[in-house]
Chains A and B, each alone.
Chain A
Amino acid sequence: MKCRKCGEKASVNMRQHKLALCKEHYLEWVPEQTERFIKKYEMFTHAEKILVAVSGGKDSLALWDILNRLGYQADGLYLGLGIDGGISYSHESQRLAEKFANEHNLKLHVVDIEKEYGQPIPVLAEVSHRGYGKPCAVCGLAKRHEMNRIARDLGYDVLATGHNLDDEAAVLFGNTLSWSSEYLLRQGPVLPASDGLARKVKPLCRFYEREMTAYSLARGIEYIYEECPFAEGSQSIYYKELLNQLETKRPGAKLTFYLRFLEARKRGDLFIENNVERAHLHSCPKCGQPTSTEDLCSFCRMIEKVQNTAVTG
């Protein structure tokens, strides 16, 4: 297979675009496309300060690399979750995030959950009894809370995450299976800032996970290959594998599924947004972040419960 631009041997073939490129032209094409998506969805401008949530995985490191190559003001945020799983998962992912930052002379904020709140994520989950034996619910809650807090406290205009199209299609698939209209209405490349919540954007949302892997390999980015030990057997991985089987038979199926959803949502074809009751948000009396209750937010409630347990235990 030949590169469409130069005729040399191609390294990446994107069947959904009927486009094969050599390594050199692929490494030009990815940032060009990212810039196009940033502008199309009005994610941010060169004048704004961006905080990139960096996990040490391929997508977030690739995103940071691309934004840096495009000349955006992008700093990183690494959250130390305290997950070991027999493979020193958090330790290794932090090492790789710091290595990338050092090699590219980029600013990385490191926040350790255990230092901030007394316990690592698995213990917070165990003590607070959230998440049916797995810490994923607590981890998600803590990450959302901390990313928003830090973006707000440090004066960043926007929070960028490395979600790719496979991530988005898997979420969409899950929410469609259960017709979760509230979640479906919220899904998109940009979640605008509101009521104490920082603007959140996903500049890689139109790239396949395969393409981001290829980008990281071609750029020589060292990333953590192993997934979080708690993610094994997760529903999202199962949905991704199902969608990849579909994609193999029907090239472009994942992209069409996601893009047609965005178009339909924009036109108001899926649900009538006005009919969906919007929850009124209050300010958490402890941390000040938005919450649907008049009392403490879910995160502060969890921390309080953990601290009370530690005192009484």
Chain B
Amino acid sequence: MVRLILREKEYEVKPGMTLLSALQKINIVPESVIATCDGEMILDDEILKDGDVVKLIAVISGGMGIATRDSGIVSESRITNSDSRGCRL
């Protein structure tokens, strides 16, 4: 699975989809976040691989980048430690 982390929320999507598709699936407005993986910024066309941990950085200070309709959150938990594959930016 691919994990996407935004502030204190965590989402999971299946590998093989693009970042753009993943953001649409979890209902995050792509324009409102920057995605990083392994310390590098990645773009909408990046194909997400199994085990990837994508850190989403909200670009609006204080904003969550989440649209108003149902979010389709797969899992939600507080992140206390970065994963060893997590992003370091």
Q: Chain A: residues with CB nearer than 8 A to chain B?
A: 1, 10-13, 20, 23, 57-58, 166, 208-210, 212-214, 217-218, 225-228, 231-232, 234, 237, 240-241, 244-245, 247-248
Contact = CB atoms under 8 A, between A and B. Distances in A.
Contacts of B65: 241, 244
Nearest to A228: B62
B59 interface: yes
A209 B40 CA distance: 19
Contact of B31 (A210, A228, A234): A210
B84 to A, nearest CB: 20
B86 interface: no
B88 to A, nearest CB: 11
A227 B62 contact: yes
B60 A166 contact: yes
B69 to A, nearest CB: 11
A169 to B, nearest CB: 12
B63 A217 contact: no
Contacts of B43: 1, 10-13, 20
Contact of B41 (A12, A57, A227, A232): A12
A225 to B, nearest CB: 8
**Minimum-distance CB pairs A-B, first 7:** A227-B62, A227-B61, A244-B31, A213-B59, A11-B41, A210-B59, A244-B32
A217 B29 contact: no
B57 A245 contact: no
Contact of A234 (B34, B44, B59, B62): B62
Contacts of A241: 29, 32, 60, 63, 65
Nearest to B33: A210
Given A210-B31, A214-B34, 19 more contacts: A12-B41, A23-B41, A166-B59, A208-B59, A210-B32, A213-B34, A214-B41, A217-B89, A218-B41, A226-B61, A227-B62, A227-B63, A232-B62, A234-B62, A241-B32, A241-B63, A241-B65, A245-B29, A248-B31
A245 B32 CA distance: 8
B18 to A, nearest CB: 11
Contact of B29 (A11, A57, A212, A248): A248
28 contacts: A1-B43, A1-B44, A10-B43, A11-B41, A13-B44, A20-B43, A23-B40, A57-B61, A166-B59, A210-B32, A210-B59, A213-B57, A217-B41, A218-B41, A225-B57, A225-B61, A226-B62, A227-B63, A231-B61, A234-B62, A237-B62, A237-B63, A241-B29, A241-B63, A244-B31, A247-B31, A248-B29, A248-B30
Contacts of B67: 245
Nearest to A164: B59
A57 B30 CA distance: 22
Contacts of A234: 62
Nearest to A234: B62
- For A20, A227, A241, the residue with the greatest tally of chain B CB atoms inside 10 Å of its CB is A241
Contact of A240 (B34, B57, B60): B60
Among B36, B43, B63, B67: residue with most chain A CB under 10 A:
B63
A87 to B, nearest CB: 12
